[in-house]
A and B are shown apart, each in its own frame.
Chain A
Amino acid sequence: MPSRIMNWIDQRFPLTSFVKHDLTDYPTPRNLSYWWNFGFLAGFVLVLQVATGIFLAMHYKADVAQSFDSIQHIMRDVNYGWLLRYMHATGASAFFFVIFVHMARTLYYGSYRAPRELLWWTGQGLLLLLMATAFMGYLLPWGQMSFWGATVITNLFRATPFIGDQVVVWLRGDYTVGDATLTRFFSLHYLFPFLIIGAVIVHLVALHTVKSSNPSGVDLAHKDNIPFHPYFTAKDLYGLGVFLIVYSIFVFFMPDSLIEPANNIPANPMQTPNHIVPEWYFLPFYAILRSVPNMVGGVVAMGLSVMMFAFMPFLDRSRIPGGAHYRPIYRLQFYLFMVDMLVLGYVGYVPPTSQTMMIGQIATLCYFGSFLLVPYISKVEERWLIRRGLPDVVAVLIDSEEQEKNKRKAKGNK
């Protein structure tokens, strides 16, 4: 009977072949470390955010006169409303944390390199969508930081050439952040997650075309693949358990550590808070914005700082596989970049003084410098490594990759 049902379905929908192609027969490198768990975790957090968000929207009111009160209604009167809201607020941070680790892994192991450029770029698009969604969601509680954060960030669009002022009014729906802004941000905050889901599907289609990279950088033809299910479903579920433990510590024991105290004060357009700070996940980019004395320059620098990652496939000119694994200088550069991010985050968090401004400017230079030096350093490093003598494995890998490339080219020419 079950096989008859499956046959019936398979004649109409490729269910069995889908499960085979993408789960039970999907080849996955067996040497993936736990750093490869974070893509699955990001998908999980996305579902968590959508699920909690839908229930929050049942009780939330997008109206400047009511939204702050409706959050308190959720926190105090709705059954387990506090749980939904703390899960959603903590989930936003968790999402960025997971995505940042996911990106750091890609950078470290050079997973963005051919043939995974499109996979990397769809991820870059997802990052932008995620940032937009988080930014709009932050306005909804209508606290002081919500209001002033949205005011500062929408104001940045004044930097648009010629039509800057009109763009700002168009975004806000009013001359200042107000009811029109709140309702449209709510509407879009509900829409964007579904765009993200669509983009995730594109991301996964790209992934399943090129398959996962792996720590050794070994070419697909040479490496030892195992089916995704059951090996990586089991590994991902264990990783999920660890993630949920950390997540629950935040949700149940320190949920307010991720919420700015000023956001517990209703928005007041007449009173600017002493110190406007974005959420922690925007701090490095915010620091770059503030480091450039000129507003237009700052906006361009901030935009570029987020987009720089997309250029990595072009910037990295080394043929040595395995990312930082076989490349000591690139590895050092990676760690310095991480430190630089932390410095920028700190500079973005503290009130600006001449001292932190200077640190911020140096860190900004280091930020862009570490990207712009990649083409040069990667070439020099490659030459140095080859002169020093590559491990046999790596030499073989470079050769095979070269052959693959030629084969692809030959195919293309035919």
Chain B
Amino acid sequence: MNKLIAVVLACGISTLAYASEAKLESIKVATDVASVERGVDNLMNSCHSCHSLKYIKYRDLVNFGIDKHKVDGWRAEQSLDSALLAQMSESDAIQAYGKAPPDLSLMAKARDGGTNYVYSYLLGYYVKPDGTTANHIYPETKMPDILGMSGATGEAQRATIKEQAHDIVSFLAWAADPHAQERNRLGYYVLGYLLVLTGLLYLVKNQIWARLK
């Protein structure tokens, strides 16, 4: 069964991977609470001033298992049931960047390449010969190199930034599809049930058809 899923998955991914022109780095997102917590921590520090996550409420973070004290720190006076709206108002953001920064709730699913795209994009900054920074995944981007990849010196720093990006993407993957784990868990039960049921139905069919011979 796993093999079949893997084969089918591989077909699905290969069609996805084809769609984007720039070469994306392929990653496997983490689903454990610790990685997601580091991710949301990074995100609250680096992204949340401009980007909203309007479909995520602070309570969702607590329910997932993120440290309640941290969540309380982020939300300050806001209620647990308020959404993770950006600190900067949209009009200020438009004034600063020329357009509103996109909401990140579904970002992990909203680009060809999905999480690979977001990861490669976050790390895709480089310094052009004229001294300005640019991004080779999304050249028209207005977002500054928030993780500092283009200015990184040495492998150690780059590795740290990569880890940060990986955690952020892991959080975004959870945010885009918070029921993924529940869905997979339920999926194994459903498949197990269906395999047994189908096996039995096959035997029933054979038994009934045996009357004909």
Contacts and interface: CB of A to CB of B under 8 A. Distances in A.
Interface of A: 30, 69, 72, 75-76, 82-83, 86, 226, 230-231, 234-235, 237-238, 240-242, 244-245, 248-249, 251-257, 259, 261-262, 264-265
B140 to A, nearest CB: 12
B126 interface: no
A82 B179 contact: yes
Nearest to B108: A264
A264 B177 CA distance: 11
Contact of A249 (B5, B15, B113): B5
A194 B8 CA distance: 34
Given A238-B202, A245-B198, A256-B109, 14 more contacts: A235-B209, A240-B201, A241-B194, A245-B195, A248-B191, A252-B187, A252-B190, A254-B8, A255-B183, A256-B177, A257-B15, A259-B109, A261-B16, A264-B176
Output the residue of B5, B106, B178, B184 with the most chain A CB within 10 A.
Answer: B106
A82 B183 contact: yes
A254 B9 contact: yes
A254 B12 contact: yes
Contact of A261 (B109, B190, B197, B209): B109
Contacts of B208: 230-231, 234
B197 A249 contact: no
Contacts of B105: 72
A148 to B, nearest CB: 15
A226 B9 CA distance: 41
Closest 9 CB pairs of A and B: A252-B187, A241-B198, A257-B12, A264-B110, A234-B205, A238-B201, A264-B106, A238-B205, A264-B109
6 contacts: A82-B179, A234-B205, A237-B205, A238-B204, A242-B198, A261-B111
Nearest to B102: A265
Contact of B110 (A245, A253, A261): A261
Contacts of A241: 194, 197-198, 201-202
A261 B209 CA distance: 47
A67 to B, nearest CB: 14
